[in-house]
Structure formats: structure tokens, C-alpha cells
Structure 1
Amino acid sequence: MSRKREHEAEKENSERWLLTYSDLITLLMIFFVVLYSMSKVDAEKFKAVAASLNKALSGGTPAKIELATSPSGPSLFETGTPSSTTTVPGKDTDPNKTTHTDPDTTNWENLKTGQGNSDAENMSIEAIKAKLDKFAADNGIQSKLMSSIEERGLVISIQETLLFQSGSADINDRARQILERISTVLASSTNQIRVEGHTDNLPIRTAKFPSNWELSVIRSTNVVEILQSAGIAPNRLSAAGYGEYRPIASNDTEEGRGKNRRIDLIILRSKYDVTEPNTQNSNGN
């Protein structure tokens, strides 16, 4: 009896490998199912995400991104235009040597260091500033027409007394001549120009201007019309009114209020074209 039981025990133990084998097959099947599900990409959603990432990291208009397709379906995304530094085997190049420069990474590093603009554009902005400063000095208005270079571009600040009567948006003949002279300098560039109207915090309530909002907007719009009539392309111009809410000095003193009552002409750097509607193919045209 003991020999028969030992024989049956050996027979049962010899078949236990089937359990391990079936577990392995099951795990392999689950593994390939997971791989298969991961390979199915929603092309439209993936394209939208890729475009948003390109736009955020490059600081400009997102590059065209296309999804590479194959008979089995979509795969990983590729940029629409290959980099000029990417090595292509079979094109008189050594397939063992690869050189690659990522333009998006370069743009992102430039943005972080504040150097996202070309040297040519910086020289153009500095040249415009030098001409306007000389014009202001030659005409004795350097305390009322001032310019400064900021991150967003060249800011030309014109005090209210040089353009308007107090509480009025009408531009007199002398002010018109000054704006026309300024427009001849600005016409040499193709950058977007934003005209911003600002006031102090003293309230105004007239039939024509119920608040400082209306006064600042109408003033900036009137300046835009003169710049356009003087030769600035209208698709480069925009007008904004900020009322008393963007002061550059304290409104507690008359001197500070005088500085706040101003028109600012902003020559925007080209990297901000992405925030301006329909400017990619229309600058200066």
C-alpha cells in the first residue's frame, strides 16, 4: 500500500508545472493587451496637445505638427518640417554621425534670459529711440516726449499737455504735426504699435466723457487715426484706454497726476505678434 501511495504522489507532483505555465501564458496575454491599448492614440487630441506644448515652450506661433501614420494606425508625432541640422542617412552623410539642434529649446532658453529677440530688431528699436530723443531735444519737448526700452518693446510716452487740453480729446494743429513727425520715424519698422490712453484719478463727468475710461479711449483712438493718415499701415495699429488704472506716479500730487495723464505709443517686439490677431502674414503689408 505504501508503494502505491508514493507512486500516486509522484504522478500528481509531475503535473504541477501546468499551473505555472498557464499563469505565465495569462500574464503574457495581459501584457500584450496593455501594449495594444497603449498603441491606440487619439490623433486629434494628441495633435492639439502637441501644438499647445510647442506654443508654450517656444513663446511664438506653434510649429505645424503632424502625426506620422502607418498601415496599422497613428504613431508618435513628428514636426511638419525637419530640422536643417538633422542627419538623413543616404544623403551624402555619415550615418554614424548625428547632429541635432532643437529650435524650441533655443527659443525657450532665450525667453528665460530675456533675449528672445534678434539683434537686428534690437538695433532697430534703439535707432528709433535715438531719432525720437533727438527730435524731442531739438524742439525743447524732451520733458514731455520721453522714450524707454522695456521688455515688451519701445515705450514712447507723450504727456497730455503736448497733445490735448484738459478734459478734451481734440488734437490741435501743433500736436498733429508732432504726431506726424513721429509717424515718419515709426514707418521704418514693421512692428505692431499699440496706442494707450491714460488719465489721472480725478473724476470727470461730462456729457461727452462720463468717466476717465471714455476719455482715455477716445484720446488713443484719435492718435491712431492721425498715425494712420500719416502713413502707418492700419493693420499695425491698435488703441486701448486704461483710464486712471495704470499710473506711473502717485496721484497724490499735481506733478504725479501730470505724469499719469499721457499717451503711450508701444512699439511691440515681434515675439508678441502671437498675441495680436492676424499679424503673421500682414505686418507692414
Structure 2
Amino acid sequence: MSKQDDLEKLEQQQKKSHEGAAGSERWLISYADFVTLLLAFFIVMFAISQVNKAKVEGFEKSMRTAFGGKPPVIQTAPPKANEPFHHLPSPVPLVAVPPSVAQAIREQEQVMMRMRAQLRKALAPLIRKGDIHVLKTPTGTKIRINADVLFQNGSAQLQPKALRVVDAVGLVLKGFSYHIAIEGFTNKQPIRTRKYPSNWYLSAARALSVLVRFLHDGVRPDLVKAVGFGATHPAAPYTAGKMKAAMRENRRVTIFVEGDTSVIMKQIARMVS
């Protein structure tokens, strides 16, 4: 074999070795492309999550100007079959409250505010002591009275001083034509007497005593009802260190004054009919 043939053979071997090395490192190019795309993805996601409120407001103003001074109307249509999220329920449009319903709600809340103001004025000393609470509820007014103010322990007979308290409430409530629910509660101390075999009897008897006094004060009979809950639904938990306070606080009478929803329901019925 000549020297030239040896040189050619050596060049061919070097060329094959170089091509093999390049082929073995070709995966690095794909890996680098993947890392670059992944980095770009996270940069885009980060940019989307950062909302510039000023730019959004500026965009909204520009859109209003472009559409003749009115904000653009966006209509949301339910996804069609085979589209992404087509299996999800369609968005429910919000229905504006009719003016007549809104006016009825405002008028009733004004009446309730006036009632609560009268009650707080009539019961101010006991409210300051924390024996009575006059609270606003989503549908009306709640008056919570500690049983110590009204009854002796184990009794459902109103004390002489309690008559003034119940009368103060009754004289205010008789000026309003709202339904009244009187609820009696006891603490978890069991009772078993001939007159009150259990806390259910005692709580119901206490609620009934307040109801009878309300009738004496002129509250309409068709608007009141009495319910006894016994030791259920405690207002304060029986925890260590606060047991005495809980035993006292859970002995209570609660008076719920429910707002008249008939006007509102009539308006709603007209909307759906």
C-alpha cells in the first residue's frame, strides 16, 4: 500500500470520527430548544398574571371613545358541542332588581331602623349592662334578653321587675304589623320537677309567659308565636374557664321580628309569571 493510500485512509477515518461525534451530541440542540421554549412559556405566564390597573383603565377609556362614548357590550354565548368546556353549564345572567322591589326593601328597612331605635331607647340601661341586645338580622330584628332579667332559676313566671322590661318591648312592637317569634332557651343544667319535667317544658313555658304579656300590652294575637328549644342551640360554647358565663348566657329569651316580605314576593311573582 502506498503512502498516499495511507493518507487517504487516515482522512476517511478522521471524517467518520468527526461525523459520529457530531451525531452523538445532536440531542443537546433539541434540549436547548426545549429549555428555551419552557423559559419563554414561564415568562409569558408571569406577564399575564401581572395586571396593570392603570393600563386596563386606559384601555377601557379608549374603547368607550372608539364606540361612541359607550362601553362595549360583551355577549357570552354557551360553548358549542366539541368546543373546550362545552360540558360546563352556561353562565347565568344577573337580573337587575326592579325599582318597585328595591323601593319596598328600602321602605321596610327604614321601618325596622325606626323600630330598633325605639327599642334601644326604651331598653338603654339594660343594653348598657349587656343584659339585652337589639340586633339587625337579614330579614328583620332580633331582641335577645338574658333569662336572669326575666325569671328566677328553674321558673317560668315573670318577676315583677321583668314585667316592666317585657312591657317596654311589647309597647314598641304593637305599633308595627310584623310577625313575632318568641323563643325560649335554657342552659344544659337538667331540670326534673312536677311542673317542668325537662328543659323543653321550661323553655317553652318561658316563651309562652312573654307571649301572654305581649297580648296584655296590645300586640295582635295573630302575629305572635312561642317556641321552646330547651338546652339546644347554645349561644355561648361550654368551654373550660368560661363555663359560668356560658351557663348564664345560654339562659335567654329571643324575640324575632320578621319583616313583611309579601310585597317583595308579589313583585317577584309578577316577574316570573
TM-score (norm. length: structure 2) = 0.56
2:144 aligned with 1:157:
yes
Secondary structure at the residue paired with 1:118?
A: helix
Amino acid at match of 2:230: G
Q: Say which of 234, 246, 253 aligns to 1:256.
A: 246
State, as a whole percentage, how many aligned pairs show the same letter.
26
Q: CA deviation at 1:116?
A: 9.8
Aligned-residue offset at 1:132: 1.6
Q: Which residue of 2 aligns with 1:270?
A: 260
Q: How many residues align?
A: 167
Structure 1: which amino acid aligns with 2:251?
R
Q: Is the 8 A contact 2:126 2:132 kept in 1?
A: no
Is 1:119 the equivalent of 2:106?
yes
C-alpha distance in 2 between matches for 1:116 and 1:166? 46
Query: Deviation digits for residues 50-103 of structure 1, max 9, x if unmatched?
Result: xxxxxxxxxxxxxxxxxxxxxxxxxxxxxxxxxxxxxxxxxxxxxxxxxxxxxx
Task: Please say if residues 203 and 228 of structure 2, whose CA atoms lie closer than 8 Å, have aligned partners that are also in contact.
Answer: yes
Q: Which consecutive unaligned segments of at least 5 residues does structure 1 have?
A: 1-104, 275-285
Deviation of the 1:195 alpha carbon = 0.3
Partner of 1:179: 166
RMSD over aligned Cα atoms: 2.7
Q: Secondary structure at the match of 1:264?
A: strand
1:178-257 matches, within 5 Å, as 178-252=165-239, 253-257=243-247
Larger Rg: 2
The 2-side partners of 1:228 and 1:116 are apart by 32
| Aligned-pair CA distance for 1:121 | 1.2
Task: Give, in whole Å, the separation in 1 of the partners of 2:160 and 2:197.
Answer: 26
The secondary structure found in structure 2 opposite 1:197 is: strand
Equivalent in the alignment of 2:25? none
Separation of aligned partners in 2, 1:200 and 1:138: 25
Cα separation, 2, equivalents of 1:240 and 1:118: 28
What amino acid is aligned across from residue 153 of structure 2 in structure 1?
A: S
Secondary structure in structure 1 of the residue aligned to 2:261: helix
* DSSP-derived class of the 1:158 partner: strand
User: Alpha-carbon deviation of 1:206?
Assistant: 1.1
TM-score with structure 1 setting the length: 0.53
More helix by share: 2
1:172 Cα offset (Å):
1.5
- Between the aligned partners of 2:153 and 2:263, the Cα distance in structure 1 is 34
Q: Confirm or deny: 8 A CA contact 2:184 2:254 kept in the other structure.
A: yes
Alignment correspondent of 2:61 = none
- CA–CA separation in structure 1 for the residues paired with 2:119 and 2:179: 17
Contact 1:197 1:219 in 2 (8 A): yes
C-alpha deviation, 1:134, in angstroms: 2.2
Q: Which has the higher contact order (CA 8 A, sep 6+)?
A: 2
Query: C-alpha distance in 1, partners of 2:263/2:184?
Result: 21
**Shift in Å, 1:158:** 0.5
3-state SS, counterpart of residue 246 of structure 1:
coil
C-alpha displacement at 1:152, in angstroms? Answer: 3.2
What is the CA-CA distance between 1:226 and the residue it aligns to? 0.3
1:122 aligned partner, one-letter code: E
* Residue 143 (1) aligns with residue 133 (2): no
State whether residues 181 and 226 of structure 2, in contact with CA within 8 Å, keep that contact through their aligned partners in structure 1. Answer: yes
The 1:127/1:192 distance shift into structure 2, 3 A limit, reads same
For residues 132-174 of structure 1, give each alpha carbon's deviation from its aligned partner in whole angstroms, at most 9, with x where no partner exists.
2222224676411111111232000010110000110010121
Taking the aligned partners of 2:126 and 2:234, their CA distance within structure 1 comes to 27
Counterpart amino acid of residue 151 in structure 1 = P
Q: What is the CA distance between 1:119 and its match in structure 2?
A: 1.2
